[in-house]
Amino acid sequence: MIINFSALATNPELYKIVTDGVGLGFLTGEQEIQPIQYAGLSSATRDQLVAWLKQQHAAATAADTVKARERAEEYVRIGLVDSQENADKISRYIKENGNYFSVASIDAAVHGLGRANLDWKEEPLEPLPNGEPRLPIESSEAVLRKASIAQLKDFRDRNGGIQHRRPLGSFSSSIF
């Protein structure tokens, strides 16, 4: 059993009983108590310790949930649609992957589900500095073939450096 003795020190009575009971002096940080040491504690002390650990876990989970909600709000600010459908998809993803609500689980859900499975607001496309219109991220290959070099460079930069190349097929294959 791992115990954060720095946090346990906020309950001085229980801290003293546990440190004396396991035969260790002044402890800080996270320390592991071996099963034999745990068994050496009185049943009342074990019950108090378990209740304290549950309280600490509940407080940490509540704090993680608040931070997860804040992270979800950050995604809404950058374009994720604030809808029950998106919330259900993210919740389902987190539950299916055995996680609880935390910043890391929200990030994993949004990235795991991706843009295709979540609803995002359309990004406002301002024209390029040369006056040409910007290409939408969902542009087809036909639109990309007709685009100017400036439009393609801007598209590539906004699309994470992905370059759309003509797929190899019957018209573009090589026998060598």
* C-alpha–C-alpha distance, residues 125 and 134, integer Å: 6
Token pair 């049943």: residue: 43
* C-alpha–C-alpha distance, residues 72 and 76, integer Å: 6
Averaged over 58-75, what is the pLDDT?
Answer: 89
Q: Which of 21-25, 136-140, 152-156 has the highest mean pLDDT?
A: 152-156
pTM higher than 0.75? no
Averaged over 128-151, what is the pLDDT?
Answer: 87
H or E segment and range at residue 109:
helix 103-117
Q: Which pLDDT band, with edges at 50, 70 and 90, does 162 fall under?
A: low
List the domain boundaries for the chain.
123-167
Averaged over 148-167, what is the pLDDT?
Answer: 74
